[in-house]
Structure 1
Amino acid sequence: MPESHDVPFERTAIETDSSPTLAAVHHESDSDDWLVFCHGLRSDKSGSYERRCRRAREAGYNAVRFDARGCGESDGEFVDSTLEARLADLRRVADYFDPDSYALFGSSFGGKVALHAAAEDDRVDAVATRAPVTTTETFDEYRATVASEGEWTFDTGERIDRRFFDALDRYPFADVVGSLAVPVAIFHGGADDVVDPADSFDAARRLETDVLVERFAGEGHRFSAAAEDRLLERLFGWLEWAGNRE
């Protein structure tokens, strides 16, 4: 059975029951292989991530899904959940479970988190993404409003402010290009109107490591059930290759 964990995300001298925590779920496998999932900007660890973790466990992975601060069941405010904060959250989760090595999977904004984390953490041995954010232009609509009004509020009430863009600008994709040495897989819907599929092909051309890019014709930013099935088959086949490469 999957096991829930509360992972403190702020380092304090004494961590107590009132310390803010990240909600994480571990799908345990009798294996040394680990796969950690990073959800998108306004997503959480539920839904498709639960399914992906079940499939990962079937494939022999210890799978971990978690809510970034301010998302899902985790403590904190969404407005504080910048790229830097999410990278710190991922690091805390990885440190908490403490695998010798692990692979990452990230969707959309979670793909950007995964790519930058893989460039910074020597424990990461492969990174897979679906519709990853690789350019700041993805958020231009929000940036203009934040510049003029101080914040953007989504229809669900979640907010981002200047800190979101300050952090985004501090992590250009060029940092990944210059640092990432592990294999990368990119899966992208050909009809995605949220993150431009052309960005993924451009990212693949720029990366200096092994890259697999697959365009899912007719799929948008959210995949259909059939496309999700295909994604999972391709993902775990690729991870097997990545784990066995010389």
Structure 2
Amino acid sequence: MPERHRIPVEGPETTGEVPELAAVYHPADTDQWLFFCHGLRSDKSGSYENRCRRAVESGYNAVRFDARGCGESDGEFVESTIETRLTDLRHVVDRFDPESYALFGSSFGGKVAFHMAASDDRVEAVATRAPVTTTETFNHHRGVVDTTGTWTFETGERIDRRFFEALDRYPFDDVVGALGVPAAVFHGSNDDVVDPNDSFDAARRLQTDVLLEKFAGEGHRFSRPAEDRLLKRLFGWLEWAYGRT
């Protein structure tokens, strides 16, 4: 039975009331763990619930959570950056304190997962779907922010200069130079949000074992058949990748 958790995010930068993250833990009777990182404007619901169920069926303790400013977690979306999301992920992982674990991140969550995998020795493998690996993904948004101070998405969420200042502090070069665990990258060929060519370039640059799969005809959001195929590929790959380091 899934367990719901509220995880406080405390640190030197915390002022005033301590924000809490909403997380859901799907237990399995093993010592293998898989943590999921959602996209920029996504949350832990929907496809992540199914992904966690499949993870448990495959023998993984699975955890999905909302980053600050998203879903059921505290905070304002405009305060969310790559730095705050890495801090959130670290607090979630530390709450469950696994000896080792794997990561799956989608879109901006893929960037979070890559940087975490490059900085935490407990990570055994990292898998991503349509990961953000270049700052150019947000060039249009950056131009508007440089001019007006903020970018507002059609759903009302906002980003400002803090988002880009943090983004520039976390180039993919840092991942290339530090990542030492197997990586998997899945990307739809018709993605018009994150350029599929970015994933091919990232795979070429990474100096570790990389599984790269192009899903023909799929966009930034996968169809249900493609999602099912993704999960079959993911857990087949994880069976090989987890624990080999």
Could you tell me the TM-score, scaled by structure 1's length?
A: 0.96
Distance 2:223 2:128 in 1: 17
Instruction: Report if aligned partners of 2:107, 2:132 keep a CA contact under 8 Å in 1.
Output: yes
Instruction: Report if aligned partners of 2:100, 2:122 keep a CA contact under 8 Å in 1.
Output: yes
Residues 1:188 and 2:182 aligned together:
no
Q: Deviations over 1:17-73 (max 9, x none)?
A: x63200000000011000000000000000000000000000010000000000000
Instruction: Report if aligned partners of 2:102, 2:242 keep a CA contact under 8 Å in 1.
Output: no
Distance 2:124 2:205 in 1: 19
Distance 1:123 1:90 in 2: 13
Residues 1:152 and 2:173 aligned together:
no
- Provide the residue aligned with 2:131 in structure 1: 132
- Provide the residue aligned with 1:3 in structure 2: 3
Report the CA distance between 1:157 and its aligned residue. Answer: 1.1
Gaps of 5+ in 1: 13-17
- Provide the residue aligned with 2:103 in structure 1: 104
- Provide the residue aligned with 2:65 in structure 1: 66
- Provide the residue aligned with 1:95 in structure 2: 94
Distance 1:3 1:86 in 2: 22
SS in 2 for 1:120: coil
Distance 2:113 2:126 in 1: 7
Distance 1:9 1:72 in 2: 16
Q: Deviations over 1:182-220 (max 9, x none)?
A: 000000001101001000000000000000000000000
Instruction: Report if aligned partners of 2:124, 2:243 keep a CA contact under 8 Å in 1.
Output: no
For the structure 1 residues 29 and 152, does the alpha-carbon distance in structure 2 shift closer, same or farther, using more than 3 Å as the test? same
Q: How does 1:187-206 map to 2 (within 5 A)?
A: 187-206=186-205
Q: How does 1:164-243 map to 2 (within 5 A)?
A: 164-243=163-242
Counterpart residue type for residue 234 of structure 2: L
Distance 2:68 2:244 in 1: 35
Report the CA distance between 1:11 and its aligned residue. Answer: 3.5
SS in 1 for 2:7: strand
Distance 1:10 1:74 in 2: 14
Report the CA distance between 1:155 and its aligned residue. Answer: 1.2
SS in 2 for 1:106: strand
SS in 1 for 2:225: helix
Report the CA distance between 1:81 and its aligned residue. Answer: 0.8
Q: Deviations over 1:50-101 (max 9, x none)?
A: 0000000000100000000000000000011100000000000001110000
SS in 1 for 2:236: helix
Report the CA distance between 1:9 and its aligned residue. Answer: 1.1
Counterpart residue type for residue 117 of structure 2: A
- Pairs aligned (count): 242
SS in 1 for 2:28: coil
Could you tell me the TM-score, scaled by structure 2's length?
A: 0.97
Distance 1:244 1:164 in 2: 34
Distance 1:218 1:163 in 2: 35
Gaps of 5+ in 2: none
Calculate the aligned-residue CA RMSD, in Å. Answer: 1.2
Counterpart residue type for residue 10 of structure 1: E
Runs of 4+ with deviation above 6 angstroms? none
Distance 2:120 2:109 in 1: 16
Counterpart residue type for residue 104 of structure 1: L
Distance 1:32 1:245 in 2: 15
